[in-house]
Chains A and B, each alone.
Chain A
Amino acid sequence: MRALERARADYPLSLHGVGLGLGSADGVDRGHLARVKQAIARFEPALVSEHACWGHSGGEFFNDLLPLPYTDEAVELLARQVGEAQDALGRRLLIENVSAYVAFEHSRLHEWEFLAAVAQESGCGLLLDVNNVYVSSKNLGLDALAFIEGLPVGTVAEIHVAGHARNGAVLVDDHGSHVCEEVWQLYCHATGRFGALPTLIEWDTNIPALSTLVAESQRADRMLGKLRGLAA
Protein backbone atom coordinates (compact mmCIF):
# COMPACT_ATOMS: atom_id res chain seq x y z
CA MET A 1 0.00 0.00 0.00
CA ARG A 2 2.79 2.37 0.92
CA ALA A 3 4.70 1.48 -2.24
CA LEU A 4 1.57 2.27 -4.22
CA GLU A 5 1.19 5.58 -2.43
CA ARG A 6 4.77 6.46 -3.37
CA ALA A 7 4.11 5.55 -7.01
CA ARG A 8 0.91 7.59 -6.89
CA ALA A 9 2.90 10.65 -5.81
CA ASP A 10 4.77 10.64 -9.15
CA TYR A 11 2.40 8.97 -11.62
CA PRO A 12 -1.32 8.94 -12.39
CA LEU A 13 -2.87 5.55 -11.56
CA SER A 14 -5.34 3.44 -13.50
CA LEU A 15 -7.38 1.39 -11.02
CA HIS A 16 -8.48 -1.83 -12.71
CA GLY A 17 -11.08 -4.03 -11.03
CA VAL A 18 -11.91 -7.68 -11.59
CA GLY A 19 -14.31 -8.49 -8.77
CA LEU A 20 -17.54 -6.49 -9.00
CA GLY A 21 -19.38 -8.91 -11.30
CA LEU A 22 -21.23 -6.01 -12.92
CA GLY A 23 -23.13 -8.35 -15.27
CA SER A 24 -24.24 -10.80 -12.55
CA ALA A 25 -28.04 -11.22 -12.55
CA ASP A 26 -27.80 -11.66 -8.74
CA GLY A 27 -26.53 -8.07 -8.45
CA VAL A 28 -23.22 -6.32 -7.83
CA ASP A 29 -21.02 -7.41 -4.89
CA ARG A 30 -21.82 -4.43 -2.65
CA GLY A 31 -19.17 -5.23 -0.05
CA HIS A 32 -16.52 -5.21 -2.74
CA LEU A 33 -17.97 -2.02 -4.26
CA ALA A 34 -17.56 -0.29 -0.88
CA ARG A 35 -13.90 -1.35 -0.73
CA VAL A 36 -13.29 -0.12 -4.29
CA LYS A 37 -14.76 3.22 -3.20
CA GLN A 38 -12.27 3.34 -0.30
CA ALA A 39 -9.40 2.55 -2.68
CA ILE A 40 -10.52 5.36 -5.01
CA ALA A 41 -10.68 7.81 -2.09
CA ARG A 42 -7.20 6.78 -0.95
CA PHE A 43 -5.37 6.67 -4.29
CA GLU A 44 -7.38 9.11 -6.44
CA PRO A 45 -6.76 7.22 -9.69
CA ALA A 46 -7.02 9.01 -13.04
CA LEU A 47 -8.97 6.09 -14.57
CA VAL A 48 -11.17 3.40 -13.02
CA SER A 49 -12.16 0.31 -14.99
CA GLU A 50 -14.01 -3.02 -14.72
CA HIS A 51 -15.17 -5.77 -17.06
CA ALA A 52 -18.22 -6.62 -19.15
CA CYS A 53 -18.73 -9.92 -17.39
CA TRP A 54 -20.40 -11.71 -14.51
CA GLY A 55 -18.78 -13.63 -11.68
CA HIS A 56 -21.29 -15.03 -9.19
CA SER A 57 -24.54 -16.96 -9.06
CA GLY A 58 -26.52 -18.47 -6.20
CA GLY A 59 -24.13 -16.98 -3.63
CA GLU A 60 -21.00 -18.62 -5.05
CA PHE A 61 -18.26 -16.44 -6.54
CA PHE A 62 -16.10 -17.96 -9.26
CA ASN A 63 -13.55 -15.08 -9.17
CA ASP A 64 -13.22 -15.16 -12.92
CA LEU A 65 -14.38 -12.98 -15.82
CA LEU A 66 -17.30 -15.06 -17.09
CA PRO A 67 -18.83 -14.24 -20.48
CA LEU A 68 -22.29 -12.76 -20.93
CA PRO A 69 -24.88 -13.70 -23.52
CA TYR A 70 -25.11 -10.75 -25.92
CA THR A 71 -28.83 -10.07 -25.62
CA ASP A 72 -31.00 -7.00 -25.04
CA GLU A 73 -31.72 -8.26 -21.51
CA ALA A 74 -27.99 -8.42 -20.73
CA VAL A 75 -27.44 -4.91 -22.20
CA GLU A 76 -30.19 -3.59 -19.94
CA LEU A 77 -28.87 -5.33 -16.82
CA LEU A 78 -25.19 -4.51 -17.34
CA ALA A 79 -25.95 -0.87 -18.23
CA ARG A 80 -28.15 -0.51 -15.13
CA GLN A 81 -25.56 -2.05 -12.80
CA VAL A 82 -22.69 -0.07 -14.36
CA GLY A 83 -24.83 3.03 -13.77
CA GLU A 84 -25.40 2.03 -10.13
CA ALA A 85 -21.67 1.44 -9.63
CA GLN A 86 -20.82 4.79 -11.22
CA ASP A 87 -23.33 6.52 -8.92
CA ALA A 88 -21.92 4.74 -5.86
CA LEU A 89 -18.30 5.49 -6.78
CA GLY A 90 -18.97 9.03 -8.03
CA ARG A 91 -16.86 8.20 -11.09
CA ARG A 92 -17.24 7.31 -14.73
CA LEU A 93 -16.15 3.71 -15.30
CA LEU A 94 -14.42 2.22 -18.31
CA ILE A 95 -15.78 -1.23 -19.18
CA GLU A 96 -13.48 -3.80 -20.77
CA ASN A 97 -14.22 -6.61 -23.22
CA VAL A 98 -13.15 -10.02 -21.82
CA SER A 99 -11.40 -13.01 -23.39
CA ALA A 100 -13.97 -15.71 -24.12
CA TYR A 101 -13.61 -19.47 -24.50
CA VAL A 102 -17.31 -20.16 -25.11
CA ALA A 103 -20.25 -18.22 -26.55
CA PHE A 104 -23.88 -18.45 -25.44
CA GLU A 105 -26.21 -19.88 -28.04
CA HIS A 106 -28.69 -17.18 -26.95
CA SER A 107 -26.52 -14.26 -28.11
CA ARG A 108 -28.34 -12.03 -30.62
CA LEU A 109 -25.84 -9.15 -30.88
CA HIS A 110 -22.20 -8.89 -31.89
CA GLU A 111 -19.98 -8.23 -28.88
CA TRP A 112 -19.05 -4.75 -30.16
CA GLU A 113 -22.75 -3.89 -30.61
CA PHE A 114 -23.36 -5.09 -27.07
CA LEU A 115 -20.53 -2.95 -25.63
CA ALA A 116 -21.54 0.13 -27.63
CA ALA A 117 -25.14 -0.21 -26.35
CA VAL A 118 -23.96 -0.56 -22.73
CA ALA A 119 -21.77 2.55 -23.11
CA GLN A 120 -24.62 4.52 -24.64
CA GLU A 121 -27.18 3.50 -22.00
CA SER A 122 -24.93 3.84 -18.92
CA GLY A 123 -22.66 6.71 -19.98
CA CYS A 124 -19.58 4.59 -19.25
CA GLY A 125 -16.47 4.61 -21.42
CA LEU A 126 -14.86 1.50 -22.88
CA LEU A 127 -11.50 -0.10 -22.24
CA LEU A 128 -10.43 -2.00 -25.33
CA ASP A 129 -8.32 -5.06 -24.54
CA VAL A 130 -6.79 -5.89 -27.91
CA ASN A 131 -5.41 -9.23 -26.74
CA ASN A 132 -8.86 -10.23 -25.52
CA VAL A 133 -10.29 -9.35 -28.95
CA TYR A 134 -7.64 -11.55 -30.56
CA VAL A 135 -8.07 -14.47 -28.15
CA SER A 136 -11.89 -14.46 -28.46
CA SER A 137 -11.73 -14.12 -32.24
CA LYS A 138 -9.46 -17.16 -32.55
CA ASN A 139 -11.41 -19.24 -30.03
CA LEU A 140 -14.86 -18.44 -31.40
CA GLY A 141 -14.14 -17.81 -35.08
CA LEU A 142 -14.90 -14.07 -35.02
CA ASP A 143 -13.48 -11.16 -37.02
CA ALA A 144 -11.07 -9.13 -34.82
CA LEU A 145 -10.87 -6.17 -37.22
CA ALA A 146 -14.66 -5.97 -37.48
CA PHE A 147 -14.74 -5.80 -33.66
CA ILE A 148 -12.39 -2.81 -33.58
CA GLU A 149 -14.18 -1.13 -36.50
CA GLY A 150 -17.51 -1.73 -34.79
CA LEU A 151 -16.77 0.19 -31.59
CA PRO A 152 -17.78 3.86 -31.72
CA VAL A 153 -14.91 6.37 -31.79
CA GLY A 154 -14.99 8.56 -28.69
CA THR A 155 -16.12 5.87 -26.23
CA VAL A 156 -12.78 4.02 -25.98
CA ALA A 157 -10.54 5.73 -23.41
CA GLU A 158 -7.86 3.14 -22.55
CA ILE A 159 -6.23 0.16 -24.24
CA HIS A 160 -4.76 -3.06 -22.86
CA VAL A 161 -2.40 -5.47 -24.61
CA ALA A 162 -1.00 -8.72 -23.20
CA GLY A 163 0.43 -12.10 -24.01
CA HIS A 164 -1.62 -15.30 -24.08
CA ALA A 165 -0.93 -19.02 -23.87
CA ARG A 166 -2.01 -21.85 -26.14
CA ASN A 167 -3.81 -24.82 -24.58
CA GLY A 168 -4.34 -27.25 -27.46
CA ALA A 169 -6.52 -25.44 -29.97
CA VAL A 170 -7.60 -22.82 -27.43
CA LEU A 171 -5.89 -19.51 -26.70
CA VAL A 172 -5.92 -18.64 -22.99
CA ASP A 173 -5.51 -15.08 -21.74
CA ASP A 174 -2.78 -15.55 -19.11
CA HIS A 175 -0.78 -12.26 -19.16
CA GLY A 176 2.37 -14.35 -18.97
CA SER A 177 4.42 -13.66 -22.11
CA HIS A 178 5.27 -11.15 -24.87
CA VAL A 179 2.49 -9.46 -26.80
CA CYS A 180 2.34 -11.38 -30.09
CA GLU A 181 2.82 -9.73 -33.49
CA GLU A 182 -0.83 -10.14 -34.51
CA VAL A 183 -1.92 -8.30 -31.35
CA TRP A 184 0.58 -5.49 -32.03
CA GLN A 185 -0.91 -5.15 -35.51
CA LEU A 186 -4.40 -4.96 -34.06
CA TYR A 187 -3.11 -2.43 -31.53
CA CYS A 188 -1.74 -0.31 -34.37
CA HIS A 189 -5.12 -0.50 -36.06
CA ALA A 190 -6.96 0.36 -32.84
CA THR A 191 -4.79 3.39 -32.03
CA GLY A 192 -5.21 4.57 -35.62
CA ARG A 193 -8.97 4.50 -35.06
CA PHE A 194 -9.27 5.62 -31.43
CA GLY A 195 -6.16 7.78 -31.02
CA ALA A 196 -3.03 7.69 -28.83
CA LEU A 197 -4.77 6.40 -25.68
CA PRO A 198 -3.25 5.39 -22.32
CA THR A 199 -2.00 1.84 -22.83
CA LEU A 200 -1.24 -0.89 -20.31
CA ILE A 201 0.98 -3.91 -20.98
CA GLU A 202 -0.61 -6.57 -18.76
CA TRP A 203 2.11 -8.99 -17.64
CA ASP A 204 1.27 -10.35 -14.19
CA THR A 205 2.18 -14.05 -14.40
CA ASN A 206 5.65 -15.42 -15.25
CA ILE A 207 6.80 -11.87 -14.55
CA PRO A 208 9.97 -11.16 -16.56
CA ALA A 209 13.00 -8.96 -15.84
CA LEU A 210 12.09 -5.28 -15.66
CA SER A 211 14.15 -4.60 -18.81
CA THR A 212 11.90 -6.99 -20.79
CA LEU A 213 8.80 -5.23 -19.52
CA VAL A 214 10.25 -1.81 -20.23
CA ALA A 215 11.16 -2.88 -23.79
CA GLU A 216 7.57 -4.02 -24.34
CA SER A 217 6.28 -0.74 -23.00
CA GLN A 218 8.69 1.20 -25.25
CA ARG A 219 7.30 -0.58 -28.28
CA ALA A 220 3.83 0.76 -27.44
CA ASP A 221 5.37 4.19 -26.77
CA ARG A 222 7.03 4.24 -30.19
CA MET A 223 3.74 3.39 -31.90
CA LEU A 224 1.90 6.08 -29.95
CA GLY A 225 4.74 8.55 -30.66
CA LYS A 226 4.39 8.01 -34.41
CA LEU A 227 0.68 8.57 -34.13
CA ARG A 228 1.16 11.82 -32.21
CA GLY A 229 3.74 12.89 -34.80
CA LEU A 230 1.20 12.35 -37.52
CA ALA A 231 -1.42 14.33 -35.62
CA ALA A 232 0.98 17.25 -34.96
Chain B
Amino acid sequence: MASLRELQASFAAALRDESATCAVLPRENLSIYRNNAAINFRSALASSFPVLRRRVGDDYFRQLAMRYRQRHPSRSGDLHWVGTGFAAFLAEELQGTEYAWLADLARLEWSREEAAVTMTHAAISVDALARFAPEQLEHLVFSLQPSLRLHASDFPIFSIWTANQVDNAPPVDQSMAGECGMVLIRIDGVEVRRLEARVFSYLSALAAGAPLGEAVSIAGLDQPALVHALAFVFQEALVCAVTLKVGQSAH
Protein backbone atom coordinates (compact mmCIF):
# COMPACT_ATOMS: atom_id res chain seq x y z
CA MET B 1 0.00 0.00 0.00
CA ALA B 2 1.23 3.50 -0.78
CA SER B 3 2.69 5.42 2.15
CA LEU B 4 1.09 8.62 3.46
CA ARG B 5 3.94 10.61 1.91
CA GLU B 6 3.33 8.97 -1.48
CA LEU B 7 -0.43 9.59 -1.25
CA GLN B 8 0.10 13.25 -0.45
CA ALA B 9 2.68 13.60 -3.24
CA SER B 10 0.21 12.09 -5.74
CA PHE B 11 -2.57 14.41 -4.48
CA ALA B 12 -0.21 17.40 -4.84
CA ALA B 13 0.74 16.28 -8.36
CA ALA B 14 -2.96 16.05 -9.27
CA LEU B 15 -3.47 19.61 -8.00
CA ARG B 16 -0.67 20.80 -10.31
CA ASP B 17 -1.63 18.65 -13.29
CA GLU B 18 -5.18 17.48 -14.06
CA SER B 19 -3.92 14.40 -15.90
CA ALA B 20 -1.91 13.04 -12.92
CA THR B 21 -3.41 9.99 -11.18
CA CYS B 22 -4.53 10.10 -7.56
CA ALA B 23 -6.44 7.44 -5.57
CA VAL B 24 -9.41 9.55 -4.44
CA LEU B 25 -13.12 9.53 -5.19
CA PRO B 26 -14.87 11.29 -6.79
CA ARG B 27 -11.88 12.32 -8.90
CA GLU B 28 -13.64 15.24 -10.56
CA ASN B 29 -13.97 16.95 -7.18
CA LEU B 30 -10.19 17.47 -7.11
CA SER B 31 -10.94 20.55 -9.22
CA ILE B 32 -12.41 22.17 -6.08
CA TYR B 33 -9.07 21.88 -4.30
CA ARG B 34 -7.25 22.98 -7.46
CA ASN B 35 -9.42 26.10 -7.65
CA ASN B 36 -9.18 26.78 -3.90
CA ALA B 37 -5.39 26.78 -4.06
CA ALA B 38 -5.35 29.18 -7.03
CA ILE B 39 -8.00 31.49 -5.57
CA ASN B 40 -6.45 31.58 -2.09
CA PHE B 41 -3.08 32.46 -3.62
CA ARG B 42 -4.52 35.16 -5.88
CA SER B 43 -6.68 36.67 -3.13
CA ALA B 44 -3.71 36.92 -0.79
CA LEU B 45 -1.67 38.55 -3.55
CA ALA B 46 -4.53 40.96 -4.34
CA SER B 47 -4.81 42.00 -0.69
CA SER B 48 -1.06 42.72 -0.58
CA PHE B 49 -1.04 44.71 -3.85
CA PRO B 50 -4.37 46.59 -3.97
CA VAL B 51 -3.10 49.63 -5.89
CA LEU B 52 -1.29 47.52 -8.46
CA ARG B 53 -4.45 45.45 -8.99
CA ARG B 54 -6.51 48.60 -9.34
CA ARG B 55 -4.14 49.98 -11.96
CA VAL B 56 -3.89 46.82 -14.10
CA GLY B 57 -7.48 45.58 -13.70
CA ASP B 58 -8.76 42.19 -12.52
CA ASP B 59 -8.13 40.26 -15.73
CA TYR B 60 -4.48 41.20 -16.13
CA PHE B 61 -3.90 40.79 -12.40
CA ARG B 62 -5.31 37.26 -12.65
CA GLN B 63 -2.89 36.44 -15.48
CA LEU B 64 0.06 37.89 -13.58
CA ALA B 65 -0.90 35.94 -10.43
CA MET B 66 -1.17 32.68 -12.37
CA ARG B 67 2.22 33.09 -14.06
CA TYR B 68 3.81 34.19 -10.77
CA ARG B 69 2.40 31.18 -8.90
CA GLN B 70 3.72 28.77 -11.55
CA ARG B 71 7.23 30.08 -10.97
CA HIS B 72 6.96 31.00 -7.29
CA PRO B 73 4.48 28.70 -5.53
CA SER B 74 3.60 29.37 -1.90
CA ARG B 75 6.41 28.33 0.46
CA SER B 76 4.63 28.92 3.76
CA GLY B 77 1.50 27.90 5.59
CA ASP B 78 0.94 31.62 6.12
CA LEU B 79 -0.53 33.20 2.97
CA HIS B 80 0.74 36.62 4.03
CA TRP B 81 4.13 35.78 2.50
CA VAL B 82 3.10 34.73 -1.02
CA GLY B 83 3.89 38.23 -2.30
CA THR B 84 7.54 38.09 -1.20
CA GLY B 85 8.96 37.70 -4.72
CA PHE B 86 6.21 39.45 -6.69
CA ALA B 87 8.05 42.75 -7.26
CA ALA B 88 11.18 40.94 -8.51
CA PHE B 89 8.99 38.75 -10.75
CA LEU B 90 7.32 41.85 -12.23
CA ALA B 91 10.67 43.55 -12.75
CA GLU B 92 11.82 40.58 -14.82
CA GLU B 93 8.49 40.11 -16.58
CA LEU B 94 7.97 43.79 -17.49
CA GLN B 95 11.56 44.81 -18.15
CA GLY B 96 11.78 47.19 -21.09
CA THR B 97 8.00 47.57 -21.41
CA GLU B 98 5.89 50.63 -20.71
CA TYR B 99 4.68 48.87 -17.55
CA ALA B 100 8.10 48.62 -15.87
CA TRP B 101 6.91 51.12 -13.25
CA LEU B 102 4.56 48.44 -11.86
CA ALA B 103 7.55 46.62 -10.34
CA ASP B 104 8.48 49.72 -8.32
CA LEU B 105 4.86 50.17 -7.25
CA ALA B 106 4.86 46.50 -6.15
CA ARG B 107 8.04 47.09 -4.10
CA LEU B 108 6.33 49.98 -2.33
CA GLU B 109 3.19 47.94 -1.63
CA TRP B 110 5.19 44.94 -0.42
CA SER B 111 7.14 47.12 2.00
CA ARG B 112 3.77 48.13 3.49
CA GLU B 113 3.08 44.44 4.08
CA GLU B 114 6.49 43.95 5.71
CA ALA B 115 6.09 47.05 7.87
CA ALA B 116 2.60 45.96 8.97
CA VAL B 117 4.00 42.87 10.70
CA THR B 118 7.07 44.54 12.23
CA MET B 119 7.07 45.68 15.85
CA THR B 120 7.61 49.35 16.66
CA HIS B 121 10.49 50.11 19.05
CA ALA B 122 10.40 52.95 21.55
CA ALA B 123 11.91 56.06 19.97
CA ILE B 124 14.52 58.20 21.72
CA SER B 125 14.48 62.00 21.79
CA VAL B 126 17.11 64.38 20.51
CA ASP B 127 18.17 64.86 24.17
CA ALA B 128 20.04 61.55 23.84
CA LEU B 129 22.71 63.43 21.86
CA ALA B 130 23.53 65.59 24.93
CA ARG B 131 25.54 62.81 26.57
CA PHE B 132 28.14 62.95 23.77
CA ALA B 133 30.88 65.54 23.36
CA PRO B 134 30.53 67.89 20.36
CA GLU B 135 33.51 66.31 18.59
CA GLN B 136 31.87 62.88 18.88
CA LEU B 137 28.62 63.84 17.13
CA GLU B 138 29.88 63.06 13.63
CA HIS B 139 30.82 59.54 14.76
CA LEU B 140 27.38 58.65 16.12
CA VAL B 141 25.41 55.83 14.53
CA PHE B 142 21.60 55.76 14.71
CA SER B 143 19.49 52.62 14.94
CA LEU B 144 16.27 53.37 13.05
CA GLN B 145 12.79 51.86 13.45
CA PRO B 146 12.94 48.25 12.21
CA SER B 147 9.80 48.73 10.11
CA LEU B 148 11.31 51.66 8.15
CA ARG B 149 11.55 50.95 4.41
CA LEU B 150 13.03 53.48 1.97
CA HIS B 151 12.22 53.61 -1.71
CA ALA B 152 13.59 55.59 -4.64
CA SER B 153 12.08 55.11 -8.07
CA ASP B 154 12.49 56.58 -11.55
CA PHE B 155 8.68 56.76 -11.56
CA PRO B 156 6.23 58.83 -9.48
CA ILE B 157 5.22 55.80 -7.37
CA PHE B 158 4.35 57.74 -4.23
CA SER B 159 1.99 59.99 -6.20
CA ILE B 160 0.48 56.93 -7.88
CA TRP B 161 0.01 55.14 -4.56
CA THR B 162 -1.54 58.19 -2.90
CA ALA B 163 -3.89 58.95 -5.80
CA ASN B 164 -5.14 55.36 -5.78
CA GLN B 165 -6.38 55.31 -2.21
CA VAL B 166 -9.84 56.04 -3.58
CA ASP B 167 -12.01 54.15 -6.07
CA ASN B 168 -11.90 55.22 -9.73
CA ALA B 169 -8.76 57.28 -9.30
CA PRO B 170 -7.62 58.96 -12.52
CA PRO B 171 -4.30 57.62 -13.83
CA VAL B 172 -1.18 59.49 -12.73
CA ASP B 173 1.15 60.58 -15.53
CA GLN B 174 3.95 57.99 -15.40
CA SER B 175 6.29 60.32 -17.23
CA MET B 176 6.44 62.62 -14.20
CA ALA B 177 9.76 62.81 -12.35
CA GLY B 178 10.89 59.95 -10.13
CA GLU B 179 10.12 60.05 -6.43
CA CYS B 180 11.54 58.79 -3.16
CA GLY B 181 10.04 58.25 0.25
CA MET B 182 9.53 56.03 3.24
CA VAL B 183 7.14 53.45 4.66
CA LEU B 184 6.79 52.54 8.32
CA ILE B 185 4.33 51.25 10.88
CA ARG B 186 2.64 53.80 13.13
CA ILE B 187 0.22 53.33 16.00
CA ASP B 188 -2.77 53.77 13.67
CA GLY B 189 -1.48 51.89 10.63
CA VAL B 190 1.24 51.93 7.98
CA GLU B 191 2.42 55.35 6.81
CA VAL B 192 3.50 55.94 3.20
CA ARG B 193 5.25 59.27 2.77
CA ARG B 194 7.10 60.97 -0.04
CA LEU B 195 10.36 62.62 1.07
CA GLU B 196 12.48 65.45 -0.21
CA ALA B 197 15.53 64.01 -2.03
CA ARG B 198 18.20 65.18 0.43
CA VAL B 199 16.31 63.99 3.52
CA PHE B 200 15.83 60.67 1.73
CA SER B 201 19.52 60.44 0.92
CA TYR B 202 20.45 61.26 4.53
CA LEU B 203 17.99 58.68 5.91
CA SER B 204 19.24 56.06 3.46
CA ALA B 205 22.83 56.62 4.60
CA LEU B 206 21.79 56.38 8.27
CA ALA B 207 19.78 53.23 7.56
CA ALA B 208 22.88 51.71 5.92
CA GLY B 209 24.79 52.32 9.18
CA ALA B 210 26.77 55.40 8.19
CA PRO B 211 27.80 57.67 11.10
CA LEU B 212 26.19 61.11 11.18
CA GLY B 213 29.15 62.92 9.63
CA GLU B 214 29.42 60.52 6.73
CA ALA B 215 25.63 60.62 6.16
CA VAL B 216 25.82 64.42 5.96
CA SER B 217 28.53 64.18 3.28
CA ILE B 218 26.67 61.53 1.29
CA ALA B 219 23.47 63.62 1.32
CA GLY B 220 25.37 66.85 0.61
CA LEU B 221 23.67 68.70 3.46
CA ASP B 222 24.68 72.23 4.43
CA GLN B 223 24.15 73.43 8.01
CA PRO B 224 20.47 74.50 7.68
CA ALA B 225 19.62 71.31 5.77
CA LEU B 226 21.35 69.21 8.43
CA VAL B 227 19.36 70.88 11.20
CA HIS B 228 16.19 70.23 9.20
CA ALA B 229 17.07 66.57 8.55
CA LEU B 230 18.07 65.89 12.17
CA ALA B 231 14.88 67.52 13.43
CA PHE B 232 12.93 65.35 10.99
CA VAL B 233 14.34 62.00 12.15
CA PHE B 234 13.65 62.81 15.82
CA GLN B 235 10.25 64.47 15.32
CA GLU B 236 9.13 61.49 13.28
CA ALA B 237 10.27 59.09 16.04
CA LEU B 238 12.56 57.23 13.64
CA VAL B 239 15.55 56.80 15.99
CA CYS B 240 15.49 53.93 18.49
CA ALA B 241 19.10 54.03 19.73
CA VAL B 242 22.30 55.99 19.30
CA THR B 243 25.79 54.57 19.70
CA LEU B 244 29.32 55.78 19.12
CA LYS B 245 30.94 54.15 16.10
CA VAL B 246 33.32 51.36 17.05
CA GLY B 247 36.85 52.76 17.46
CA GLN B 248 35.66 56.10 18.87
CA SER B 249 36.14 56.49 22.61
CA ALA B 250 33.07 57.20 24.73
CA HIS B 251 32.72 60.48 26.52
Contacts and interface: CB of A to CB of B under 8 A. Distances in A.
B7 A104 contact: yes
Given A64-B36, A77-B4, A106-B2, A57 B12 contact: yes
Nearest to B44: A63
B30 A106 contact: no
Interface stretch (A23-31, A142-150, A152-160): A23-31
B128 to A, nearest CB: 27
Nearest to A65: B36
Q: How large is the interface on B (under 10, 10 to 19, 20 to 34, 35 or more residues)?
A: 35 or more
Interface string A28-53: 01011001000000000000000000
A8 B4 CA distance: 39
Contact of A64 (B3, B4, B24, B33): B33
Contacts of B33: 62, 64, 66, 101-102
A61 B73 contact: yes
Interface string A137-175: 001000000000000000000000000000100101000
Given A64-B37, A105-B23, A106-B1, A24 B8 contact: yes
Interface in B174-192: 187
Contact of A104 (B23, B75, B77): B23
Interface string A44-84: 00000000001111111111101011010110010000000
Nearest to A69: B7
A19 B4 contact: no
A29 B8 contact: no
Contacts of B78: 19, 29, 31-32, 35
A109 to B, nearest CB: 13
Interface residues of chain B: helix, strand, loop or mixed (majority): helix
Nearest to B189: A2
B40 interface: yes
Contacts of A139: 29
Interface string B79-109: 1001000000000000000000000000000
A59 to B, nearest CB: 7
Most buried by B among A55, A63, A74: A63
**Leading 6 A-B pairs by shortest Cβ distance:** A19-B77, A25-B5, A57-B12, A29-B77, A102-B24, A101-B29
B37 A62 contact: yes
Query: Number of contact residues on A: which range applies?
Result: 35 or more
B77 A26 contact: no
Nearest to A2: B187
8 contacts: A26-B5, A54-B8, A57-B5, A63-B40, A63-B41, A63-B44, A63-B74, A73-B4
A77 B6 CA distance: 14
A231 to B, nearest CB: 39
B164 to A, nearest CB: 24
Given A62-B12, A63-B74, A74-B4, A102 B79 contact: no
Contacts of B36: 62, 64
Interface string A77-112: 100000000000000000000000111111000000
Contacts of B15: 62
A74 B8 CA distance: 11
Contacts of A21: 77
